[in-house]
Every structure is written in C-alpha cells, then in structure tokens.
Amino acid sequence: MEDLFSTVDWSRGQFALTAIVHWLFVPLSIGLSLIVGIMESIWLKTGKERWKRMAKFWMLLFGINFACGVATGLILEFEFGTNWSNYSWFVGDIFGAPLAIEGIVAFFLESTFIAVMFFGWNRVSPRFHLAATWLTAIGVCLSAYWILVANAWMQYPVGMEFDPAQMRNVMVSFADVALSPVAVNKFFHTVLSGWVLGAVFVVGVSCWFLLKKSNVDFAKDSMKIASWVGLAGIVLTIWTGDGSAVQVARVQPMKLAAMEGLYDGCCGQGLVAFGIINPDKERTDDKPAILGEISIPKGLSVLANHDAGSFVPGINDIINGVAIGADGDTVNTVGYAERIARGKQAQQALREYDAARQAGDVAAMDAATEALKADFRYFGYGYLDSVDEAVPPVALTFYAFRVMVMGGGYLLLFFIVMLFLSYRKPKTLENKWVTFFGLLTIPVVWIVSEAGWVTAEMGRQPWTIEGLLPTRAAVSAISASSVQVTFWMFVVVFAGLMVAEVSIMTREIAKATRKDLMKD
C-alpha cells in the first residue's frame, strides 16, 4: 500500500512537471500566432514592407517556441498510457476521441501550413501566404480546443455511461462531450489568456530593443499591436473567468470552497481579497481559516451566483450535503459519508456483475446492472476511506487563485499604461524605468498563467475524473522506483529543452538588436 501511494505521488509529480513545462510554450504559441497574423494582414492591406519584416521577426520566435511545445505535448499524451493506464482504460473512447481529433485534424492543419509560413514567402502569392498564417493560428487554437475538451470532461464528465461488460465508460453523445459548457468556457478563457501572454512577450521584447536603443520604430509599432491584443485579451479573460466561477460553483463546489478557504458558508458570502491560510486550522474545529482577512462584502455570492444575497456552501456544508443547484438555488444533496457508502455499493455491484457473467447467470447480471446504475454517480467515492480525502489542498488552491486574480488586475493596468504611453507619450516608452517595467512583466505573466492551471487542477483533487475515479485508482501497476527514474530523466530533458529555447530566442533577439530590422 505504501508503494502504491508512492507511485501515485511520483506519477502525479511527473505529470504535473510535464504539464507545467508544456504550458510554458502553449499560450505563447497562441498569442504570437495571432499577432503575426495581424501584422501580416496590415502588410497585405498597406503594402508597407516594414510590416512584413515585423511579421517575419515575430514569426521566427513563434517557430522556435512552437517546436518546443510540440515536443512536450507528445510526452504529455504518452504519459496517459505509461503512468495512468487504469485511467486510460476506464475512460474508454471518450478521452481518446478529442485527442485523436486534435492529432489528425488540428495538428495536421498546423504542421501543413506552418511550412508555408516559413518557407513560402517567395514561393506562393501574398494572399495564399496570409491564408497559411491564419490557418496555422486557427490550427493552434483547434489543438487547444480538443485538448481542453478532454480536460473539461475530466472536470465535468458528461455524454457517457458505464458499460459493465467492458468494465469502462463509453461515449453516448459526442456533442455533449465536445460542446460541454465547461469545455467551451475553458477554451475561450485559455485562448484569450494566451493572447495576453503573447502580447506581454512582444511588449517585453520590444522594451529590450528600446533599452538598447535599437530598432526603436519597430519596437514601438510592435508594442501598439501587442498592447491592443493584450488589452482585448485580458478584458475578455476576466469576463470568461466570471463564467468559469459560475460553472465551478455548479459542478465543482468543493473546488470553489477550496479556492476561498471557506469551511462554513453563509448567505451574502464575502470574497477574500487578502489573507493568510491558518496552518493550524482543522476542518472540524472553530479556529479561523484565514488570518488577517480583508474581504469584499458579498463578493463570493456575486461571483458564484450573480446574487449578492445567495448562499455559498463551504467545505463542511458540501461534505454534509449542501450545494448550489443548476438554477443557483441552495439544495440538499447526498452527503460525502453517504456517497462513500453508495460508491462501495456500486463497486460491489460491479463485482457481482462480473461473477454472474462468468457463471452465465443472466438474471443476476441484470440485477447487478440495475444496482450499479443506481449508485454509479458515486462510484469513485467508494475508493475513499474518509470524507476528508475528498478535500483538495486548500492552501495551494487558495494562493494560486489569488496569484491568478491579482496578476490579472496587474496585467489590465499594464496594457492600459502601455497604450496610453504609446499614443500620448511615445518618447516616454524609451525611459529605462518603463522598459524595465515591460521586461519584468514577462515572468509575471507566465506565473499568472501557471497559477491558473494550478488552481484548476489542484482544486479538483483527489479526482482524475470528478466523482468517478480518484488518482489512486487511476495509476498504472508499476513500481514507484520506475516512475522516480523517469521523473528525474524528464527533469534533465525539460531543463535542456528550456535552456535550448531560451538560448536560441535570446540569440535571435540579440542578433536583431545589432541590425536594422526595417531594412533588408
């Protein structure tokens, strides 16, 4: 049993490492592809060669980043088979379908037209080249969409039913899976945040040119385009973030409670603007959960339900069977202790079905199937030994959420300031403090982006599939030592990959500072 938990921990650590590194590349590809498409469109419309040269420079950085993203993405998908084979079997064709579509359609679209982007400048017409650029950008977004469909299904499993004969879930509605409201909102929130990250990257690199007093006009024009993209992106990201909060309140109320460090909810629940998680807090004691708390009155009720007076359940409320219904109403649900009991009944019914199938007892198979269907929604809870195991890591989720939200506010201010300076005081952009401000924001936006994923993924623990399969039941039957070896191998590989990308990008940027990018 100890080896199992060690295997689970190391497998989770390896997957988290791969996902975090992969996510360093994905949003930059999304944002840069859009900005390159806009610049090339301006070139085609105006005929001014400087826009073509700008598009080619940022396209070069996009290509470097895109290659690293592909490498890490392939490793991430292979880990489902190597480290999480029980999960891969349990989800049947549901999880595999969107990933297959991503590989066959979206990635094919990207890989086909990216070649035209880089090598077709003098081989195809300008209009065809522009179409290839935009199709590559669309392909990047389509890849993100299908991967996010798969991730959203893990958060909110729909469009499926469990087939005891196959001992796994099967898809009954592709539309429900592909068009899940969680998936659609997650897609827009993720892609728009990619616009923000790509825009910050372009502004930051442009600030480097200004700091070095190189390609000043090139840098300022790039900053204008990027700042507009970034402002649109951050405003729309905040809007979709509001939609995400409402959906989380409906389908993952425990995640919302963990995000707020909320143990006992109330009507008109405040939103914690600042606070420190009390390390001595236990779920059932009376100690305050947040130390030094500063809250926005009724803020969480508004965020979760768009109703300042609504009740938002805390961790204890949810465990005891109180949640928010589909219409935003407070409802009594099945408490976690009963869910665990009924989950064990569902698992026992599955065992009885398997025994009856082997014995050829059709009547017993039918009876076991009915019993399984009655309690299958709680199937995953049967793996838990106590209700406390269903509580996510509160401190990590709480802090990651605040880093994301406060960072989003900072980025909104950042783009407003940059646009103001670009149009009203362009000379001020060359001030060294402004350039340092722009360069500093590059690591800030990546921290904010990663914090968003930490919130989404850690907030749904201990589940691999919400309510149906915890991580402990999803891992492969391999030794912890095997996972440890591959974990450290990946650390070395990813470190090398990061060093390679940063060194290649910085070399190309340094080369650009030594020449006039506006001239051939």
261 with 324, same domain?
yes
Domain boundary among 330, 347, 379: 330
Q: Which helix (H) or strand (E) holds 323?
A: strand 322-324
260 with 299, same domain?
yes
346 with 325, same domain?
no
Considering the domain boundaries, does residue 272 fall inside one?
Answer: yes
284 with 326, same domain?
yes
- In sequence order, the 6+-apart residues with CB closer than 8 A to the CB of 447 are 403, 407
Considering the domain boundaries, does residue 295 fall inside one?
Answer: yes
Considering the domain boundaries, does residue 457 fall inside one?
Answer: no
Q: Which two tokens stand for residue 470?
A: 């915890």
Sign of CA dihedral 46, 49, 54, 55: positive
Considering the domain boundaries, does residue 380 fall inside one?
Answer: yes
292 with 268, same domain?
yes
344 with 380, same domain?
yes
Considering the domain boundaries, does residue 2 fall inside one?
Answer: no
pLDDT digits (tens, 9 = 90+) for 188-247: 999 999 999 999 999 999 999 999 988 888 999 999 999 999 999 999 999 999 889 889
- In sequence order, the 6+-apart residues with CB closer than 8 A to the CB of 157 are 94, 169, 465, 466, 467, 468
Total domains in the chain come to 2
Task: Give the mean pLDDT per block of 10 residues along the chain (520 residues).
Answer: 69 87 90 94 91 92 87 80 84 82 77 86 91 91 89 91 88 91 92 95 94 89 95 95 89 92 88 90 87 89 86 90 63 84 93 90 89 91 92 93 94 95 89 91 94 92 91 85 87 89 90 72
The pTM of the full predicted model, rounded to 2 decimals, is 0.91
The CA-atom distances, in angstroms, between 254 and each of 152, 462, 495 are 16, 11, 35
- In sequence order, the 6+-apart residues with CB closer than 8 A to the CB of 149 are 98, 177, 178, 180, 183, 187
Considering the domain boundaries, does residue 289 fall inside one?
Answer: yes
Residue whose C-alpha is closest to residue 244's, from 194, 327, 181 = 181
Q: Which two tokens stand for residue 123?
A: 């081989």
280 with 322, same domain?
yes
272 with 292, same domain?
yes
Residue 379 per-residue DSSP state: G
344 with 307, same domain?
no
340 with 381, same domain?
yes
Q: Which helix (H) or strand (E) holds 160?
A: strand 160-163
Domain boundary among 330, 345, 369: 330
Domain boundary among 301, 330, 359: 330
Give the span between the Cα atoms of 255 and 155, in whole angstroms. Answer: 10
Alpha helices in 47-157 (DSSP H): 49-82, 85-90, 92-101, 107-119, 126-155
pLDDT digits (tens, 9 = 90+) for 157-194: 999 988 888 888 889 999 999 999 999 999 999 999 99
Output helix, strand, coil percentages for the chain, rounded to the nearest 5: 75, 5, 20
Considering the domain boundaries, does residue 149 fall inside one?
Answer: no
Considering the domain boundaries, does residue 58 fall inside one?
Answer: no
pLDDT digits (tens, 9 = 90+) for 292-336: 888 899 999 898 888 888 888 899 999 988 766 555 566 667 889
User: Which structural domain range is residue 361 located in?
Assistant: 336-387
262 with 308, same domain?
yes
Q: Are 282 and 220 in contact (CB under 8 A)?
A: no
- The DSSP bridge partners found for residue 266 are 312
